[in-house]
Amino acid sequence: MNSIQAHRESAPEYDQQAQDWGWNPEVIFGLMYEYVNSGEMLLDIGIGTGLCSVPFHRAGLKIYGVDGSSEMLEACKPKNIAAELKQHDLLKTPLPYPDEFCHHAICGGVFHFFGDLRSFFGETARILKKGGIFGFTVGPLKVEEDQVKENEYIQKLDEASGTSIYFHSDSYIQKLLKENDFTQLKMLEFIASINPETKEEHYCRLYVGQKYK
């Protein structure tokens, strides 16, 4: 099962599941708030039901969202947080936005469904204005670097959902930031969720970068 199929099935209960698992997407806003201003445009890549964008909307930013799942977008619409929502396969480039379209971008809880992230970073750099802020999460790698494909990422199967999950090395993320003219401003590793049945903790690494060209 791919990520689109998984989210198609979970869309109606997604917000409740996120709450049950203790997923707090506000952490992205918490690390970005000092760099954003009311009235600026923010693109949420993989917006889903809009959980990550809610605090930015409350802060007065104009939200644009793109996602591959029509069911997730339908769940997002009633919240009335987005100026525009688009359905688009995130792996198909270019994304449906012009160059230097928006001031900022976020991508929360998305990259762990993808191995190669080069197209995401390239497209985000293209779409952001100079000085724009990009906040995103990845599944942090907890193994020795020599076990990682070219020091980039590893793939594991989530047996419960049948979905492939990817974990990315910090060296890989640093390479992508540099190649796409981003300066890292902040990085935070945190407990993103806790399985309510097994109590297993799941970690995320949150990066905040700034486009300098």
pLDDT tens-digit profile of 90-114? 999 999 999 999 999 999 999 999 9
Averaged pLDDT, 194-207: 89
Residue with tokens 């902040």, as numbered in its chain:
186
**Model pLDDT, residue 1:** 46
Cβ-in-10-Å burial (0-12, 13-18, 19+) of 22 comes to: middle
Give the residue numbers spanning the domain of 64.
Answer: 3-211
Residue 152 Cα to chain centre, angstroms: 18
Q: Is the pLDDT of residue 46 over 80?
A: yes
171 φ, ψ (degrees, to nearest 5): -65, -35
Query: Which residue type does 8 have?
Result: R
CATH value at residue 73: 3.40.50.150
Averaged pLDDT, 59-84: 98
Q: Considering only CA atoms, which of 65, 54, 61 is closest in space to residue 95?
A: 65
CB burial string 53-79: b at 16+ within 10 A, e below: bbbbbebebbbbbbbbbebbbebbeee
Q: How many helices (H) and strands (E) does the chain have?
A: 7, 9
Q: Higher confidence at residue 6 or residue 19? A: 19
Q: Higher confidence at residue 126 or residue 24? A: 126
**Model pLDDT, residue 182:** 99
**Model pLDDT, residue 162:** 82
Q: Higher confidence at residue 199 or residue 174? A: 174
Q: How many CB atoms lie within 10 A of CB 19?
A: 11
Record the tokens describing residue 175, joined without a space.
Answer: 């390479």
Q: Higher confidence at residue 21 or residue 110? A: 110
Give me the number of domains the chain comprises: 1
DSSP assignment of 66-124 equals EES-HHHHHHHGGG--EEEEEE--TTSSS-SS-TT-EEEEEE-S-GGG-S--HHHHHHH
Q: What mean pLDDT, rounded, does the chain reach?
A: 91
**Model pLDDT, residue 172:** 94
Q: Higher confidence at residue 195 or residue 68? A: 68
Averaged pLDDT, 61-84: 97
Averaged pLDDT, 9-24: 73
pLDDT-derived band at 14, boundaries 50, 70, 90: confident
Each residue's pLDDT tens digit, 124-143:
999 999 999 999 999 998 65
- Give residues with Cβ within 8 angstroms of 34, minimum separation 6: none
Q: Higher confidence at residue 15 or residue 148? A: 15
Q: Are 12 and 69 in contact (CB under 8 A)?
A: no
The 182-194 sheet, strands edge to edge: 82-87, 62-67, 41-45, 102-107, 128-138, 201-211, 182-194
